[in-house]
Every structure is written in C-alpha cells, then in structure tokens.
C-alpha cells in the first residue's frame, strides 16, 4: 500500500497502470488512485516447474490474459515488460539482488543505499546505447558541465564560439591537445574531450 501511495504522489494526471495478477494490487491501486487511473492486470499462466538441474530456472509461461480492472486502459499497452526489464537490469548491475549468492545486505539501510547508488549510476552516469547519453542528460535533467566533475572541461555548442562545436579534439599522451579527430577513431582513444 505504501508503494502505491508513493507512486500516486509522484504522478501528475491520469496514467495507465499494469500489474501482474497479484491480488494485493487490487486494493492498493484502489486506495492510492481511486477511480483516477486506467488500470489493467496481466495474468500469466505457467507450466509445470522445472525439475533437476533446472529447478532454479523460471517455469515456462504458457499463456497470458489481459484483464481491465479500472478505467479504460489501452489493450496495446497492457504489458509488464518494462518493469520486468528494469528488474533484470537491477539484478545484473547490483549483485545484492541476484538470486542464490551471499552478497545480500544484512541491514535495510545498507540495502537502500546500495539501490540508491545503482539508480544514480544507471540514470546519471551510464551511457545508454539507444540514447547515446545518460537518461538524465537526454531528459534535460543533468547539465553536461559542472564544477569538479569529469565533464567540467566540456563546453556546450553555444559556449564554443570559434568553432560552433563542430569538432572533437583529442588529447595526446603528453596532455597537449592534438589534431581534431573523426568520430570513428574517438572510440579508440580513452582521453577524449568533446566540444558540443
């Protein structure tokens, strides 16, 4: 219930929400959103549990049923794929969430701090392949310059008057700026300064 109340407080306007078939969500969503949500459940049916060496593998999904619970959810967008992919990203980046290992947190506060570090890295540092930048920079939340940051030497296109940001300069091993390089050989050089 606390999670749904927190989620509802962070959203502006009417949203479409999809959950799995866990019955506790019915009351939680009703309590947090009232009737001001387009809510659907995606109820998956699973086959028999694997046995033997595959006993830790998930059971095979043999079907799914979409059920409208509240409002008018768009059937094309009833999916739990984004949430499941986020769960996989967390398990892959933070070993505390990986099953069957001993990297778990003994204290809840330590676990919360570890998750905060993961989301900080994922949203503000990690360059995503499809965005070619961090999600925070793509959304305009983070500025590419900042005192004391690794990117403090970068300048925006409007700040670079002499070239309008149309070049990439790379540093030589001696630390002096070398000749402008093409984007194809920038990936091979680890000390790159980009002017945008």
Residue 122 to residue 85: CA distance in whole angstroms: 13
Residue 9 shares a structural domain with residue 73? yes
Residue pLDDT, tens place only, 81-119: 988 898 888 888 888 877 677 777 778 898 899 899 999
Q: Which two tokens stand for residue 53?
A: 């060496």
Domain residue limits at 21: 2-79
- β-bridge mates for residue 68, sequence order: 40
Percent of residues, the chain, with pLDDT higher than 90:
32
Domain count, the chain: 3
The conformation of residue 5, written as its DSSP 8-state character, comes to: H
Does the predicted model carry a pTM greater than 0.85?
no
Residue pLDDT, tens place only, 30-50: 999 988 999 999 999 888 877
Residue 38 to residue 73: CA distance in whole angstroms: 5
Residue 59 shares a structural domain with residue 99? no
Q: Is position 150 within any domain? A: no
């Amino acid at each position: 219930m606390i999670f749904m109340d927190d989620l509802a407080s962070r959203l502006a306007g009417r949203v479409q929400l999809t959950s799995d078939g866990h019955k506790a969500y019915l009351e939680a969503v009703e309590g947090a959103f009232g009737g001001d949500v387009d809510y659907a459940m995606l109820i998956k049916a699973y086959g028999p549990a694997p046995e033997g060496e595959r006993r830790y593998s998930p059971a095979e999904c043999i079907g799914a049923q979409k059920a409208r619970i509240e409002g008018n959810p768009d059937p094309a967008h009833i999916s739990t794929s984004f949430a499941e992919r986020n769960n996989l990203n967390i398990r892959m980046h933070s070993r505390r969430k990986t099953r069957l290992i001993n990297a778990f947190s003994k204290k809840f506060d330590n676990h919360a701090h570890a998750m905060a570090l993961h989301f900080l890295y994922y949203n503000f540092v990690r360059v995503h392949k499809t965005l070619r930048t961090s999600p925070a920079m793509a959304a305009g939340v983070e500025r590419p310059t900042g005192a004391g940051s690794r990117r403090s030497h970068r300048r925006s296109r409007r700040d670079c008057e002499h070239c309008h940001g149309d070049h990439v300069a790379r540093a030589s091993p001696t630390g002096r700026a070398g000749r402008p390089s093409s984007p194809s050989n920038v990936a091979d050089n680890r000390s790159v300064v980009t002017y945008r």
